[in-house]
Amino acid sequence: MSKDEREVVYKSSLANADIVYKHGELSWCVYDAKNDDWNFRIMFETATKVIKPPPVLKRFAEERLAFLPSEPMEYGSTEDLAKEIYEHLYKYADYPDKYRRLDVWYCFETWIYDRFPVVSYRRALGDYGTGKTRWALTLGSICYKSFIQGAATTPAALFRLSDMIRGTQIIDENNFNLKTDVGQAIILILNSGYSRQTGVIVRCEGDAKIPKPFVTYSPKIIASRKTFPDEATESRTISHYSYETNRNDIPELLTDEFYEDALRLRNKLLLWRFRHLNQDVKLDEEFRKLRISGRLKEILLPLVSTTKDASVKDWLKDLAHDMNKEMLSVRASTIEATILQAIFEIIEENKHLKNLEKTQCQLTIKNIAEKVVKLEPDYKFIISARRVGSYLRKTFGFYVDRAPSKIIPSRPYILFLTPENIEKLIGYAHRYGIDEDLVTSVTKVMKVTLEQSSSKEKSYENYISTRRKDNLYSKVTFVTDVTNVTSRPTLREVYFKILKWLQKVCITNYRDIKHHAEYLGYPMSDELAQRILEECLKRGLLIKKPDGLYHPTEKLEKIKILF
């Protein structure tokens, strides 16, 4: 293959090599780890390929839209470099000092982010004129291969830039508008780009519509006036609120001095990257043991693992606890938290019953809704029993169903205190910041009553599981004649009562069978109810008509029911 026929491949980084911009040209800086030395190359050549830096980076660097180093520079120790980064952030931006100290190590994290499975985002929230953009530029100018997303960038260009550069993205508030294609594209990048496993967006290209993946995994620095509409994206972001500064020593404009200071730090950070990129990065085990939000632990763990300084680690752990308290205080003011609070208070108020079955009779959806309104009167016009039921099922995943008629004749919908529901309740209590004393008291009550009801087989869930273990439901022969009955008498009676009932009614689905069985005093699983319906259809006892209902056939009407 001749030189002219070789494929040209554009990459932004290679093993032990990175892109630098010097004297108006892009080149590769190749690091020799053995001798702690480096050299520069315009391209890498193989027999079939020529590897070059992406040409777009040159224009971006010329216009100061991308911030690249020019050459490695000695930095002394990591602590010395951290001090210089802090001074740079203090000189050009004013915001809470604890987040400035955090940004020092966030900057380090961006330079070796490709060693971690996840990376967090940094964001400044606030009104216009409070220094959000200044903060984003000050921090972004020293982060790894950072580039500014233009306000008029198209979605296709955003995906390609993200995939081609794979550096820190600086996103200004002008771009964050869900009513535009660009805003929607940014949300896609933010939702997927925090994790190496999920940090990819697939788009079809060319006339052949061949799917092509675009990598979105990279750090992001965001300036915005509003929070994200997606709570999942919000949880991956470390945010601070900006304010109008009173300091007179911060320059109003970013002059050449700013860009020279930032370039000097980028050069030092490039050498720091070369020396640390291939070192074993061990996740901090002590930090993993902290009792904080799992998502908060996930996004802070790589940052804590960046440093070996014990004092810095301790400070970051304290910051993690503070951030966790702030997160819990926000969650505690939500409707979900109030619903959980209502459930725990109802259980606490009825703990004297010392019986799980009687206690869960008080957890009707109506009672929970009334308790929510009592706790938060402002919810009076927005909370109903139906909405509470929706939260319990869809948000929390609790098992909610009608109470058996032998427990409550009116058969309202109740929250069953099954072992699974109890475990979820305790887990959600910690997540939403429910009072620990209340949770501890209720947990003791639920565990004691659960053990009692388990031993006496009074728990609704245990009742069903026990009957299944006895093969009462699993080994039943479906019958249309008295002579074919091989099951136990109690179940045989239920079957014939259901068949007798089906002779007179039309049903919508298997749930009608299940509810009728519960009305008769026999809890029935969805699986069994569906099986009965399928057998009725298979044997020609029921037929589905155009009205969508299942009607009895003549064959079913002729069956003689003895019970």
Handedness of CA 419, 425, 428, 430 (dihedral sign): negative
Q: Is the pLDDT of residue 485 over 60?
A: no
- Confidence grade of residue 355 (pLDDT, cut at 50, 70, 90): low
Q: Concatenate the DSSP letters of all residues of 52-115 into one string.
A: E--HHHHHHHHTTSEE--SS------HHHHHHHHHHHHHHH----HHHHHHHHHHHHHHHTGGG
pLDDT in tens, 78-120: 999 999 999 999 999 999 999 999 999 999 999 999 899 999 9
As a whole number, mean pLDDT of residues 349-377 equals: 83
Residues 94 and 215 placed together within one structural domain of the fold = yes
Counting Cβ atoms within 10 Å, is residue 143 exposed (0-12), middle (13-18) or buried (19+)? buried
Report which DSSP code applies to 42: S
Asked whether residue 93 is assigned to any structural domain, the reply reads yes
User: Is residue 220 within 8 Å of 236, Cβ to Cβ?
Assistant: no
| Rounded-to-integer distance, Cα 240 and Cα 124, Å | 5
For 364, which DSSP code?
Answer: B
Is residue 313 very low, low, confident or very high in pLDDT (cuts 50, 70, 90)? confident
pLDDT of residue 45: 84
Same-domain check for residues 340 and 309 = no
Per the structure, the complete domain to which residue 343 belongs is given by: 335-463
Asked if residue 325 belongs to a domain, the reply is yes
DSSP class of residue 404 equals: P
Q: Is residue 72 part of a domain?
A: no
Q: How far is residue 229 from each of residues 178, 226, 329, measured CA to CA in Å?
A: 9, 9, 19
Indicate the SS3 state at residue 411.
coil
Both tokens assigned to 92: 């050009």
Asked, for residue 472, whether it belongs to a domain, the answer is no
Alpha helices for 353-418 (secondary structure H): 356-361, 365-375, 385-390
506 and 371 together in one domain: no
**521 and 434, same structural domain?**
no
In this prediction, residue 43 has a pLDDT band, given cuts at 50, 70 and 90, of confident
Q: What backbone torsions phi and psi does residue 530 show, to the nearest 5 degrees?
A: -65, -35
- At 171, which CATH number? 3.40.50
Over residues 128-183, the pLDDT tens digits come to: 888 999 999 999 999 999 999 866 677 788 888 888 999 999 988 655 667 777 77
> Structural domain tally of the chain?
4
**pLDDT score for 484:** 37
Task: With respect to residue 562, please indicate whether it lies within any of the assigned structural domains.
Answer: no
Instruction: Report pLDDT digits (tens) over 533-559.
Output: 888 888 888 988 877 788 888 888 777
* 110 close to 168: Cβ distance less than 8 angstroms: yes
Average pLDDT of the chain to the nearest whole number: 83
507 and 390 share one domain? no
Q: Over the stretch 248-299, which tens digit does the pLDDT of each residue have?
A: 999 999 999 999 999 999 999 999 999 998 887 778 888 888 888 888 888 8
Task: Examine residue 471 and state whether it is found in any structural domain, yes or no.
Answer: no
CATH number at 549 reads 1.10.10.10
Q: What is the predicted pLDDT for the residue at 510?
A: 86
Average pLDDT (3-24) is 84
Residue type, 424: K
What is the predicted pLDDT for the residue at 472? 34
The predicted model gives 303-310 an average pLDDT of 86
Using the predicted structure, report yes or no on whether residue 17 has a pLDDT greater than 80: yes
Looking at residue 226, its pLDDT comes to 84
Percent of the chain with pLDDT over 90: 31
Both 47 and 86 in one domain: the answer is: no
Burial class (CB in 10 A: 0-12, 13-18, 19+), 265: buried
**In this structure, are 539 and 430 located in the same domain?**
no
pLDDT digits (tens, 9 = 90+) for 494-547: 787 888 888 888 888 888 888 888 777 777 788 888 888 888 888 888 988 877
Phi-psi region of 450 (alpha: psi -120 to 50; beta: other; left: phi over 0): alpha
Q: 66 vs 171, 262, 334, CA distance in Å?
A: 13, 12, 41
Residue 323 domain-assigned (yes or no): yes
> Can you give the pLDDT at residue 152?
60
Mean pLDDT of 423-436: 85
Q: How far apart are CA 419 and CA 399, in angstroms?
A: 11
**The predicted structure's pLDDT at residue 40:** 92
Specify the pLDDT at position 461: 42
- Is residue 199 located within the same domain as residue 296? yes
Give the number of C-alpha atoms closer than 13 A to the C-alpha of residue 484, restricted to the C-beta side. Answer: 10
Give pTM, 2 decimals.
Answer: 0.71
At residue 153, what is the residue type?
T
Instruction: For residue 402, give the 3-state DSSP assignment.
Output: strand
Average pLDDT over residues 215-226: 91
Poorest-confidence range of 122-136, 187-201, 233-247, 434-448? 434-448
Domain closes at, from 44, 67, 90: 67
Q: Is residue 375 part of a domain?
A: yes
- Is the domain of 423 the same as that of 300? no
> Looking at the structure, do residues 358 and 507 belong to the same domain, yes or no?
no
Q: Please state the length of the chain.
A: 563
Per-residue confidence (pLDDT) for residue 555, from 0 to 100: 83
Are 342 and 324 found together in one domain? no
Q: Are 438 and 348 in contact (CB under 8 A)?
A: yes
Q: Is the same domain home to 310 and 345?
A: no
User: Which residue, of 329, 352, 369, is where some domain finishes?
Assistant: 329
Q: What is the pLDDT of residue 560?
A: 62
pLDDT reading at 423 higher than 90: no
In this prediction, residues 332-340 reach a mean pLDDT of 89
What residues are paired with 201 via a beta bridge? Answer: 214
For residue 457, the model assigns a pLDDT of 38
Beta strands in 365-514 (DSSP E): 400-402, 413-415
Question: Hey, what are 223's tokens?
Answer: 């300036």
Q: What is the pLDDT of residues 436-476, one digit of tens each?
A: 888 888 877 666 655 554 444 344 444 334 433 333 333 33
Residue 7, both tokens: 């494929």
